[in-house]
Amino acid sequence: MLEVGDLVKEFGGLRAVDGVSFTLAAHTITGLIGPNGAGKTTLFNTIAGVHRPSSGSISFLGRRIGGLPPHRIFHAGLVRTFQIPRPFAGMTVLENTMLVPAGQAGERFWNNWFARSQVRAQERAGRERAREVLDFVGLERLSGEYAKNLSGGQQKLLELARVLMAEPQLILLDEPGAGVNPTLLVTIMDKLRELHARGITFLIIEHNMDLIMNLCNPVLVMAQGRLLMEGPPEVVRNDPRVLEAYLGGVLA
């Protein structure tokens, strides 16, 4: 599904991603781990189009996407979340979810006068779809709440709901477990398993080793901008290079 070949991203004299190559199979949940500063988020940002590659290639479903702007990559079916969710704070949970689908007739202001029936029909369909997605992630009861009033874990679920409204094929998740209480973390993991069973592919950055080891296979390991190894979680957990280079000899 995703092919990254000898990818390099430099910022001035700093090479944040240094010749990374890997392939991502469809219908997998792949973990990406490494210490702070390993280059994980820069790799995500480069794949998602936030940064242009300095060199190397990125292909999604056989199409070169390296260097494309984020909105074109998004519309191709590859979407990402952020470690710190960024909902529209002054909008409700339902409104945040409804605004995601592209090409809505109401986005063109003249349609609100000359194509009202089309706008209303799309809005009804969008509201119904949004409620289905919010029910799936467990936020339907909060659909009328302002996003700014949600807890950190609930905002992570809202971010997942917004991603699902785009009907993606591949989701890049940036630390879905960060700042989330244990109960909501279990909920998030369960929802990811359900989505995986429906055919969605995931690449997940995460520092929570329990989440990675119980959810992901394979696991990619980065350090100093490079890919150190790739393998099943039980192999990664016991690899001396990982224990030494990333976790000071202890993989919790």
Domain map (residue ranges) of the chain: 2-87+167-245, 88-149
Q: Please, which residues bridge with residue 198 across strands?
A: none
Sign of the CA dihedral 168, 5, 14, 240? positive
Domain 2-87+167-245's class?
A: alpha beta
pLDDT of residue 121: 74
pLDDT of residue 125: 86
CB-neighbour burial class of residue 189 (10 A; exposed 0-12, middle 13-18, buried 19+): middle
Least Cα distance to 206 among 68, 81, 56 occurs for: 81
pLDDT of residue 115: 63
229 sits in the region (left: phi over 0; alpha: psi -120 to 50; else beta) called beta
pLDDT of residue 17: 98
pTM above 0.85, yes or no: yes
In total, the chain counts a number of residues equal to 252
For the chain (length 252 residues), average pLDDT per consecutive 10? 98 95 97 92 96 97 96 94 90 94 62 66 86 95 96 92 94 90 89 94 92 94 93 91 65 45
DSSP secondary structure code for residue 61 in this structure: T
- Report the distance separating Cα 41 and Cα 228, nearest Å: 16
DSSP secondary structure code for residue 146 in this structure: B
